[in-house]
Chains A and B, each alone.
Chain A
Amino acid sequence: DVVLTQTPPTLSATIGQSVSISCRSSQSLLHSNGNTYLHWLLQRPGQSPQLLIYSVSRLESGVPNRFSGSGSGTDFTLKISGVEAEDLGVYYCVQGTHAPYTFGAGTKLELK
């Protein structure tokens, strides 16, 4: 199975600070059809996860544009440009290129 390694495991930020989360894959996530199925989710405390970014860099409808995704192959990054209080929670990367789907272990974003 594909292993996704997220770093850091915990991130402390102040409101307005920009932060990045890394997700590294044990193998390339480029599908034979040319797409890369690497997505980012946020799980706020006590809530279900929600999709933020799909296919590396595509912003899900309704998600603020302070969220952005980048990367290719095995290295991917989620950036939050100006953290807001509502952004606190656990961020997960997930890959759907290779069966079975696999998730990163999560990055917990806390207020400093």
Chain B
Amino acid sequence: EVQILETGGGLVKPGGSLRLSCATSGFNFNDYFMNWVRQAPGKGLEWVAQIRNKNYNYATYYAESLEGRVTISRDDSKSSVYLQVSSLRAEDTAIYYCTRGGALGYWGQGVMVTVSS
């Protein structure tokens, strides 16, 4: 069974940083692209970042609205993907989801990030 579990969310002050983790199991992690998608309260979905697999040289892509403030990375030995977000703003408040594959086929339950003083 595919499992995706995000951790690392919480309350952060504006200007602060956060590292989100996504642990996976139940599939061959090395074969898949991985993504982060976020959803502000009561709003729609916003893609944040993607990291491709070794076959694609671990290429990374970012939403323009976040570029320069986010870094996606992965550790294939731990079947995990990470999202480092810095210079956090109130508008970064959202549920952050980790999703598998180019077609966003599996989603974790999400982790809440609240940016507030």
Please give the residue numbers on chain A whose beta carbons come within 8 Å of chain B beta carbons, in ascending order. 1, 37, 39, 41, 43, 48-51, 54-55, 60, 90, 92, 94, 96, 99-106
- Contact present for A99 and B110 (CB under 8 Å): no
Is there contact, CB below 8 Å, between B45 and A94? yes
Q: Which residues from chain B sit less than 8 Å from chain A, CB to CB?
A: 35, 37, 44-47, 50, 61-64, 97, 102-110
In contact, A92 and B44 (Cβ under 8 angstroms): yes
Bound form: Cα–Cα A103–B103 in Å: 12
Given contacts A1-B64, A100-B61, A100-B63, contact A51 B44 (CB under 8 A): no
| B-chain residues with CB within 8 Å of residue A106 when the two chains form the complex | 44-45
B103 A96 Cβ-Cβ under 8 A: yes
Given A51-B104, A94-B104, 10 more A-B residue pairs with CB atoms under 8 Å apart are: A49-B45, A50-B107, A51-B105, A96-B102, A96-B103, A101-B35, A103-B44, A103-B45, A103-B47, A105-B44
Q: Chain A binding site: helix, strand, loop or mixed by DSSP?
A: loop
Q: Are A48 and B110 in contact (CB under 8 A)?
A: yes
Q: Is there contact, CB below 8 Å, between A99 and B61?
A: yes
Query: How many A-B contacts if CB must be within 8 Å?
Result: 54
- What are the residues of chain A within 8 A of B103 when measuring CB–CB? 37, 39, 51, 54-55, 96
In the complex, the answer to whether A101 meets B47 with C-beta atoms within 8 Å is yes
In the bound complex, CA of A48 to CA of B109 (Å): 6
Please tell me if the beta carbons of B50 and A101 are within 8 angstroms of each other in the complex: yes
11 contacts between A and B (CB under 8 A): A37-B102, A37-B103, A43-B45, A51-B103, A51-B104, A51-B106, A92-B44, A92-B45, A94-B45, A100-B62, A103-B46
Nearest A residue to B4 by beta-carbon distance?
Answer: A48
* Contact A48-B45, Cβ < 8 Å, known A99-B61, A100-B63: no
Contact A49 B61 (CB under 8 A): no
